[in-house]
Amino acid sequence: MSKAWLDELTEVVGEQHIQTKKSSLIAYSFDATPNFQALPDAVISPKSTSEIQQIVKICAKHHIPIVPRGSGTNLAAGTTPTQGGVVILFTKMNQIIELDEDNLTITVQPGVITETICHTVEEKGLFYPPDPSSMKISTIGGNINENSGGLRGLKYGVTKDYVLGLEVVLANGEVIRTGGKLAKDVAGYDLTSLLVGSEGTLGIITEATLKLIPEPESKQTLLATYDSIEKAAETVSSIIANKMTPATLEFIDQPTIKAVEDFSQVGLPTNAQAVLLIEQDGPAQLAERDIQTVEQLAVTHGAINTSIAETETEAHNLREARRTALSALARLSPTTILEDATVPRSEIATMVNAIYDIAKKHNVTIATFGHAGDGNLHPTCTTDLRDKDEWERVEQAFEDIFEKAIELGGTITGEHGVGEMKSPYLEWKVGEQGLQVMKQLKQAFDPHNILNPVKMFAKSTRKRVVVK
Amino acid sequence: MTSQSITQAFQERISEGELLNCMRCGFCLPACPTYVETQDEVHSPRGRISLMMAVRNGEIEEVEEVEDSLNVCLGCRACEPACPAGVNYGHMLEEARAIFHEHKKVPLKEKALRQTTLNTLFQDQSKMEKATSLLGFYQRSGLQKTTRKLKVMNFFPEHMRQMEQVLPKITKRKDRQDAAHFPSETESKATVAMFRGCLMDTMFYETNQSTIKLLNKAGCDVVVPDTQGCCGALHGHSGEKNGSINLAKQNIQAFEQVEADYIITNAGGCGAFLHDYGRLLKDDDEWSKRAQQFSNNIVDFSSILVDLNFVEDAKLKVDRQVVTYQDSCHLRNVMGVSEAPRKLIQAIENVEYKEMPQADQCCGSAGIYNLTQPDMSMQILDHKMKKVETTQATTIVTTNPGCLLQMKLGIERQNQSEQIRAVHLADLLLEACY
């Protein structure tokens, strides 16, 4: 390939940091979203912010699409290079720059693996709470761009709640720094918040300062088993209604339990219709008291069995098992498609039941698990994308799920992002004017539309059929 | 080699469904040593699967790039236990390698090397014996000394020089005991048949003897079928599928002739391949059942020692030392054995056991990988030795001959052969029996 812009890029990063071989292009042609795959023109691994600036300038000059990519664990086609162009990797920008124990912040390059941050700060008795299921693999840059959530979202919030400041390369190649090591900062628009979750469409994040909190003293883990989904959902509502805020409140239905147990063998009750995995942390006495209250609530609402993990290993295994839910469901069929429709937490039971009805109506298989405590469900469809007829029904089922979630005051995506996959539905949630404002923002940040094009904004919105 | 005929072979022999089982979640990435080293998806399990899919779909003409990617794979299969979707990566890898191998015009030099090592040495135990007794002669005759003095090895690449240094001492033929039956030292609890392995039987003859003695002490009558051969793993892993099928049949026959409760191996690499005979011969009507029966009987010696309460019955003691354990990938990832060796080591009095970080990651030996991909192998090994260093261990225990040689090589590369030793678990346990 002898394209002038490729030569210019090569000059910036050096030959060994730009790949154009067919095998490399294929290896970076996808993320974890089924059915979205396309070859980029090059894969590039810059070593510094200034190299990224030069890359962006070259791409802007030649109108080449840029797709920033962390570890490619995206579930809504956020890093698939469907318009070709350059995939930017951050594997050479993976250093922890500073752990500031006086201000309780950590400053990192975008390529640091999320779990590495957690481990690093835990060594100092500190805590970085956002813990997406892919935290062993995902990068912090990816987490920030997607505003990732995780199992601890109920009590501790999500990525956006921990990003204090950013360094960002804009579409014209200039650099801005937003926020800082500040608890309060109202100087101008809150660009940090705007950029978190912008899915690489507004700028390229090259550094981030994150907020840390003291590590909770102790942790208690409870597993409650149910013979009906309703009872589990009622327990969730009662926990919230009783003003309890567990650190984690996860819901897993039977097909998911089976798949997870098959893989992880941690002793989940495979005959149960649903289980709740509940964790509370904090000072030992408080955590213990809370978990006992929660256990009582579970029993009152019809749990057939409850057990509190006796060792940290046991608790850890349960958490890890839950994290594998999505991939473990992939055992059941060639294609696994996962959504993250989210509703106000009071509507969890309604939503879970609606999902089952929708699955039945369209004759598709949907397993459900997710962060029940914050209303964030993961209806997961096990299907085969080679079966065109079924694939269409799957799409219709998910449309119905989005529709229902919005009807209940929810959203089309709680934590995975819009990407390319859900872009036709964005307007359903944000409305025509909402979408208009977002497009204007995009235009202001990226007039040539080179930053992760076709993500977030679809050519046209999916026609909304309101089901009553 | 033409990309069309390769694509056709992929379509015929690698199932689309199996490839599609990979949902590309990336859970395999941190488990894959070559991804960890390169941070490049071309060298990750999901990347390799996407490349196999591209070949199958005829989307890549540059099939040699795919072959390169598959060659850099260690075949350690650490991605399999890490994969929640249960993708059978190892099987697809072997099939893909076999296809490439069959379609390839092998350069004469490599052909000669493969021919000698795989088809002659490893197919025929007597030739392996001759070759290793030559090695024994080389060591005992003073030739080794002369070679070292004259620095003849300086003409070879560095890792080959170092490998020459770490080759084990070969037992003289006339000192070898080839009796086929070794009775239990106590009341007999089980009859087991020993798979001796080609390398283990020649270069690591002493370790096999240790294993048999341990089994005898634990209450096993041990038989060693005479007509058994190499397990075929090296053939299978490098694409010589037919070679491995012939060996599998030979071994199944050999072990059917002795009636034993279990077939014991002491080499993770062999064990895992024997454990896979059922799959290897699944399409062969005459052999599939027999192969499955054979596979079901395969047990690593460490598991059976634990099952027979060897740790409680035997008094095990060594001089005070810090010991660490390097997993054999295939023992851990394919046979699922990781606790038994650790249990046995920790049962020895005076052993301070220190778990090494990422002991479950490949050491870079991986069959003949350290010969075919020396750069990556040495990079992985040097990083492994850094992990060893954090334990301050003076003894590194392994459960596979390849790993054992590699760890010795690592020690040699660090110039620490005076301070650290690498031993097979069986030898350490026997040492602890006295």
CA dist A439 → A9, A79, A144, A432 (Å): 29, 19, 20, 11
Crossing angle of helices A388-407 and A426-445, in 10° steps, is 90
According to DSSP, residue B171 is labeled: P
Q: How close, in Å, is residue B233 to chain A by CA atoms?
A: 27
The DSSP code sequence of A110-138 is TTSBHHHHHHHHHTTTEE-----TTTTT-
Lowest mean pLDDT among A413-427, B105-119, B200-214: B105-119
Min distance A450 CA to chain B CA atoms (Å): 24
Per-residue pLDDT band at A323 (split at 50, 70, 90): confident
| Residue A241 to residues A43, A297, A303, A335, B387, Cα–Cα distance (Å) | 50, 11, 18, 38, 50
Q: Which chain B residues are within 8 Å of A143, Cβ to Cβ?
A: none
A386-425 b/e (C-beta count within 10 Å ≥ 16 → b): eeeebbebbeebbbbbbbbbbbbebbbbbbbbbbbbbbbb
- B29 neighbourhood in chain A, CB within 8 Å: 71, 137
**Are residue B319 and residue B424 in the same domain, yes or no?**
yes
Searching chain A, which residue's CA lies closest to the CA of residue B29? A137
**CB distance A22–B61 less than 8 Å?**
yes
| Region(s) of chain A under CATH 3.30.70.2740 | 333-445
Calculate mean pLDDT across residues B368-394: 92
Given a contact cutoff of 8 angstroms between Cβ atoms, the answer to whether B24 and B50 are in contact is yes
Q: Do B17 and A334 touch (CB under 8 A)?
A: yes
Show which of residues 51-110 on chain B sit within 8 Å of chain A, judged by CB atoms: 51, 54, 59-62, 65-66, 68-69, 83-86
Distance CA A290, CA A275 (A): 19
State the pairing for strand pair A274-282/A218-226: antiparallel
Whether B302 contacts B263, CB under 8 Å: no
| A173 SS3 class | coil
Residue B125 has pLDDT above 70, yes or no: no
Q: Where in chain A do CATH 3.30.70.2190 domains reside? A: 218-322
Quickly list H helices, A157-283.
Answer: 191-195, 229-241, 254-264
Angle at A171 between CA A168 and CA A174, to 5 degrees: 55
Mean pLDDT value of segment B148-156 = 59
Name the segment(s) of chain A with CATH classification 3.30.465.10.
96-214
Mean pLDDT of chain B: 87
* Domain shared by B267 and B385, yes or no: no
- So what's the pLDDT on residue B119? 64
Amino acid at B184: S
Q: Do the domain assignments include residue B115?
A: no
* A392: confidence class by pLDDT, cuts 50, 70, 90: very high
- The answer to whether residues B28 and B61 belong to one domain is yes
Strands A126-127 and A105-108: unpaired
For B62, nearest residue in chain A (alpha carbons): A22
How far from each other are the two terminal CA atoms of chain B, in whole angstroms?
58
Does the beta-carbon distance from A71 to B51 stay under 8 Å? no
| Coil/strand/helix, residue B331 | helix
pLDDT at B368: 79
The pLDDT confidence band at residue A80, using thresholds 50, 70 and 90, is: very high
Task: For residue A27, give the nearest of B20, B47, B59 by CB distance.
Answer: B47
| 3-class DSSP state of B300 | strand
Question: Is the pLDDT score of A155 beyond 50?
Answer: yes
The owner of tokens 């904090």 is A282
pLDDT band at A346; cut points 50, 70, 90: confident
Q: Is A187 helix (H, G, I), strand (E, B) or coil?
A: coil
Level-2 CATH architecture, domain A4-89: 2-Layer Sandwich (3.30)
SS3 at position A352: helix
Q: How confident is the model at residue A331 (pLDDT cuts 50, 70, 90)?
A: confident
Q: Mean pLDDT throughout A202-230?
A: 95
Q: Do A73 and B25 touch (CB under 8 A)?
A: yes
Residue in B42, B65, B84 closest to A327 by CB:
B84
Query: How high is the pLDDT of residue B171?
Result: 66
How many CA atoms within 13 Å lie on the side-chain side of B34? 28
Last residue of a domain, one of B258, B279, B305: B305
- Number of CB atoms found within 10 A of residue B4's CB: 11
Average pLDDT over every residue of B135-151: 59
- Answer whether B51 sits within 8 Å of A23, measured CB to CB: yes
pLDDT of residue A468: 46
pLDDT of the residue at B109: 62
A23 with B68: Cβ contact below 8 A: yes
- Enumerate the CATH 3.30.43.10 domain ranges in chain A, comma separated: 4-89
Q: Residue A348's pLDDT is what?
A: 87
For A96-214, the fitting CATH number among 3.40.50.1820, 3.30.70.260, 3.30.465.10, 3.40.50.300 is 3.30.465.10
**Boundary-marking domain end, from B305, B327, B346:** B305
* pLDDT value at residue B130: 63
The pLDDT confidence band at residue A325, using thresholds 50, 70 and 90, is confident
Residue B107 falls inside a structural domain: no
- The domain of B340 spans 310-432
The predicted-structure confidence for B202-224, as pLDDT tens digits, reads as follows 778 899 999 999 999 999 999 99
Using CA coordinates, name the residue in chain B closest to A43.
B40
Nearest to B114 by CA among B129, B97, B126, B130: B97
CA A254/CA A226 separation, integer angstroms: 10
Under CATH, which number does the domain A218-322 receive? Answer: 3.30.70.2190
In this complex, the residue of B44, B50, B85 whose CB is nearest that of residue A26 is B50
In a domain, B117, yes or no: no
Q: pLDDT category, B120, cuts 50, 70, 90?
A: low
User: Sheet containing A204-211: which strands, arranged edge to edge?
Assistant: A96-100, A105-108, A204-211, A163-169, A175-179
List, in sequence order, every beta strand (DSSP E) within A180-330.
Answer: 204-211, 213-214, 218-226, 248-253, 274-282, 305-308
pLDDT at residue A13 is higher than 60: yes
Q: Based on the domain organization, do B291 and B344 belong to the same domain? A: no
Q: What is the mean pLDDT of residues A144-164?
A: 95
- Residue B369 confidence class, pLDDT cut points 50, 70, 90: confident
| pLDDT of res. A131 | 93
Q: How many domains does chain B have?
A: 4
Average the pLDDT over A65-83 and give the result. 96
Distance from CA of B86 to the nearest CA of A (A): 6
pLDDT in tens, B75-103: 999 999 999 888 999 999 999 999 998 88
> What is the CATH classification number for the domain harbouring B355?
3.40.50
Mutation to test the A interface, candidates B3, B27, B59, most A Cβ within 10 Å:
B27
**pLDDT digits 0-9 by tens, B177-188:** 555 889 999 889
Q: What distance, in Å, lies between the first and last C-alpha atoms of chain A?
A: 55
Q: Look up residue B164 and give its amino acid.
A: E
Rounded (to 5) percent helix, strand, coil in chain B: 55, 10, 35
Q: With b meaning 16 or more CB within 10 Å and e meaning fewer, what string describes A253-277?
A: bbbbbbbbbebbebebbeebbbbbb
Tell if the CB–CB gap between B84 and A263 is shorter than 8 Å.
yes
Residue A408 to residue A412: CA distance in whole angstroms: 11
Beta carbons of A28 and B25 less than 8 Å apart: no
| CATH number, residue B91 | 1.10.1060.10
Dihedral sign of CA atoms A291, A297, A301, A302 in order: positive
| pLDDT tens digits, one per residue of A167-191 | 999 999 999 999 999 989 999 999 9
From A21, A89, A335, residue closest to B65, measured CB to CB: A21
Q: Would you call A91 and B39 a contact, using CB atoms and an 8 Å cutoff? A: yes
Contact A72 B24 (CB under 8 A): yes
Q: Residues B90, B133: one domain?
A: no
Mutation target for B interface from A23, A257, A263, A391: give the one with most B CBs within 10 A: A23
Between B63 and A319, the more confident residue is B63
Q: Any alpha helices (H) in B186-237, and if so which ranges?
A: 198-202, 205-217, 233-237
Q: What is the pLDDT of residue A333?
A: 87
Residues of chain A positioned with their CB less than 8 A from the CB of B70:
none
For residues B214 and A98, give the distance between their C-alpha atoms in angstroms, rounded to a whole number: 53
Asked if the Cβ–Cβ distance from B26 to A328 is below 8 Å, we say no
> Are B46 and B150 part of one and the same domain?
no
Selecting from A34, A72, A328 the residue whose C-beta is nearest the C-beta of B26 gives A72
Instruction: Choose between A270 and A426: higher pLDDT.
Output: A426
CA-CA distance, A89 to A351, in Å (whole number)?
Answer: 38
- Of B20, B47, B69, nearest to A335 by CB-CB distance is B20
Look up tokens 């201000």; give the residue. A103
Gap between the Cα atoms of A315 and A310, Å rounded: 8
Name chain A contacts of B41, Cβ cutoff 8 Å: 24, 27-28, 72
**Which of the pair, A138 or A267, is modelled with greater confidence?**
A138
Measured between beta carbons, the chain A residues lying within 8 angstroms of B65 are 21-23
Residues 6 or more apart in contact with residue B285 via CB below 8 angstroms: none
- Which chain A residue is nearest to residue B69, measuring alpha carbons? A23
Is B109 within the bounds of a domain?
A: no
Q: In what order do the strands lie in the sheet with A18-19?
A: A18-19, A42-44, A86-89, A66-69
What pLDDT, on the 0 to 100 scale, is given for residue A204? 98
Q: For chain B, count helices (H), then strands (E).
A: 26, 9
Residues B138-142: what's their mean pLDDT?
59
A174 - beta bridge partners? Answer: none
CB B213 within 8 A of CB B252: no
Question: Is residue A123 over pLDDT 90?
Answer: yes
Strands of the sheet with B317-325, listed across from one edge: B349-353, B317-325, B395-398, B421-424
In this complex, do B23 and A73 lie within 8 Å of one another by their Cβ atoms? Answer: no
**Could you tell me how many CB contacts below 8 A there are between chain A and chain B?**
97
Whole-angstrom distance, CA of residue A355 vs CA of residue B433? 63
The pLDDT of residue B141 is 59
Q: Which of B24, B59, B84 sits opposite A31 (nearest CB)?
A: B24
Best of A26, A119, A386 to substitute, by most chain B Cβ atoms within 10 angstroms, is: A26
Beta strands in A286-325 (DSSP E): 305-308
pLDDT at position B371 is 81
Nearest in space to A32 (alpha carbons), one of A325, A327, A323 = A327
Instruction: Report the range of poorest mean pLDDT among A94-108, A308-322, A384-398, B40-54.
Output: A308-322
B299 in the same domain as B179: yes
- Give the pLDDT of residue A1: 47
Rounded to the nearest angstrom, the minimum Cα separation between B89 and chain A is 14
Spell out the residues 6+ positions from residue B5 whose beta carbon is closer than 8 angstroms to its own.
B103
Tell me which residue in A34, A324, A334 faces B84 most closely, judged by beta carbons. Answer: A324
Q: Which of B6, B25, B73 to mutate to test the interface with A (most CBs of A within 10 A)?
A: B25
A86, A259, A399, B214 from A138: Cα distances, Å: 20, 23, 28, 46
For A32-53, write each residue's pLDDT tens digit: 998 899 999 999 999 999 999 9
Which pLDDT belongs to residue A134? 93
Helix/strand/coil for B45: helix
Fold for domain A333-445?
Alpha-Beta Plaits (3.30.70)
| pLDDT tens digits, B282-314 | 989 999 999 999 999 999 999 999 999 998 878
What are the structure tokens assigned to A285, written together? 């006495």
Query: Residue A66: which pLDDT band, with cuts at 50, 70 and 90?
Result: very high
Q: What is the mean pLDDT of residues A445-462?
A: 93
